[in-house]
Amino acid sequence: MQVWTSLADIPAGTQSVVTIGNFDGMHRGHRRVIATCRDRARRREVQAVACTFDPHPASIHRPESGLTLINPLQDRLDAIAATGVDAAFVIHYDQSVYSLTAEEFALTYLVDTLGAVEIVVGEDFRFGCGNSGDIDTLRELGREHGFDVVMVADIEAPEGRRWSSSWVRELLAEGDVAGAARVLGHMHRIRGTVEHGFKRGRELGFPTANLSEDVEGVIPGDGVYAGWLVRQVPGTTAGEFLPAAISVGTNPQFDGEKRTVEAHVLGRSDLNLYGERVAVTFVSKIRPMMTFDSLDDLLCQMDDDLRVTAFVLGVGVSGRVDPAAVTAH
């Protein structure tokens, strides 16, 4: 898949079927819209192009909302590429874009540059200055400027709720990462840089990779999770999936105040991940964050966490590691 980040990147004479959206999280509803774009482009023998925005419009118009993207841009682009479209156009969202009328946006980005012969959008599509344009506006512009419009109806979960990014956010806030994965159609992951922590886990036989505050993606609610730590294999472009028990919270057992994400890779004492940019993928919540009457009670629970994590992930059970064997410093 080609990735275009400016109008100048788009080859002259391009003809396409286009879809447009924020696609935050790339949930099942998003993928249905993009798949429709792809299939219709194949029938018309033109390119299938997915347009998205960076930064997210809400971060510009409602900065007080403190919106955190479900996934960073690169993950969004990876998910778009997996749908089989030919290109993604990342539109830099600033005043030059949001000040355009609906017609100006359609002509500048869709007609004159992408050569849109058809535009595929969801039911709630809005565009143009102040979100003044809707599906009817787009259809009128299509009649005037020579492109067709296809609206993809919302799809719903069996319980009758529409698949949406807001639903994903609710589920993640509750710690229901399995439920979020059902809506997304894939496991949720975040990205961050591994930094030095208090090293309490190492002293107890549970060394952890602590993510710094520059985490990209929505951090699930407090609790302990089974999941994967994904790192790039040094010297390659390949990813290595390491089974992990993941703790999210303030570590109340030790009177912590700072909310952290810590991942203990099962059975490994030989990893030195400091400074690496890694991904943490959440599979299932195995328990809430808790405090215990004694350190022994905590250690017994952590031993159980390792067993449950191994069972959930389908890997061999690993116990505590020897603190003296930990190689990272």
Residues identified as active-site: 262
The structure tokens listed for 266 are: 């099962």
Radius of gyration of the chain (CA): 23
- 262's tokens: 């810590």
Question: Among candidates 29, 59, 40, which has minimal Cα distance to 123?
Answer: 29
Buried b (16+ CB within 10 A) or exposed e, 17-26: bbbbbbbbbb
In contact, 287 and 223? CB cutoff 8 Å? yes
Under 8 Å between Cβ of 79 and 28: no
DSSP code of residue 46: S
Burial class (CB in 10 A: 0-12, 13-18, 19+), 70: buried
